[in-house]
Amino acid sequence: MNALLVASRSADPNKGGWSPIGRLEFDHGTYRFVYTKGARTAVGFTPFSGMENLEEIYESDELFPVFANRLLPKSRPEYEAYLQWSGFDPANPPDPIAILGVTEGIRRTDLIEVFPCPVPDEKSCYLSKFFMHGLRYMPEAAKARVLNLKEGERLYPMWDGCNPADYSAVALRTATSDRMMIGYVPRYLAQDALTLFQHCEPEFINIFVQRVNPDAPLQQRLLCRMHACWPEGFQPCSGEEFQPIPKGLPERCAV
């Protein structure tokens, strides 16, 4: 992973959900950030401090502070556990941008999050790793059920069209033995999931438990992986709001 999309979430769900506002990438030498066209229409979004010009290409040898501050400091005693929760080897830590792609860089102090735009794997399949969302809103029985999940156990996605906060919400439930709803696919993957439901045979859409973290915060309690077909013509993250504002970007910056 060497590129992430940056999104802004509205503080008022009645005035818009979330919108992509930028793109962060790393070519193993230079970090680069550009605003996308969604930054011009995102409700309540203001440009980052020191990066106020929407039409500029920002480059740095180090990760920009606005994103570096979203990583747990290496000095924290739980740092190794933090990497393990995300499925990484503490003895061989990845690039910061890879960590952000799983942890989403969410802080309580603002409404910014980051996420990777899915790309096909070597077998031209859809592959994504993510932390399950929404566990904090689930009943205690669901939280207890998550702790009893096993690595490799299959989870089943289902469209939650009656969700008042997000019409595109995709919930996750356990196997047919108890069929308990335990949380949600992240919002940034929900539209992809709905598209895949329409174009992939059910046996080619699989979500599995990758890791259960009993001692982690709820937002990092359950790490999942999603594997599905990649339909012909499928282009995630291709809407107008994902397109970069600056002109003349290097080819590798194209969304």
Q: What is the pLDDT along the chain (255 residues), one digit of tens a residue?
A: 478 999 987 765 555 567 889 999 998 889 999 999 999 988 889 999 999 999 999 999 999 999 999 999 999 999 999 999 999 999 999 999 999 999 988 887 778 889 888 888 888 999 888 999 999 999 999 999 999 999 999 999 999 888 877 778 899 999 877 889 999 998 888 888 888 988 998 888 899 999 999 999 998 999 999 999 999 988 888 888 889 999 766 544 444
The token duo for 34 is: 């550009």
Per-residue pLDDT, 254: 43
What are the extents of the domains in the chain? 3-117+237-253, 125-229
SS3 content of the chain, % helix, strand, coil (to 5): 25, 25, 50
Answer yes or no: pTM beyond 0.85.
Answer: no
Among candidate residues 181, 194, 180, the one with its CA nearest the CA of residue 226: 194
Q: Which region, left, alpha or beta, applies to residue 201 given φ > 0 means left and ψ of -120 to 50 means alpha?
A: beta
CA–chain centroid gap for 18, Å, is 12
Whether CATH 3.30.70.2330 fits 125-229 = yes
135 CB-near residues (< 8 Å, 6+ apart) = 142, 143, 146, 182, 183, 218, 219, 221, 222
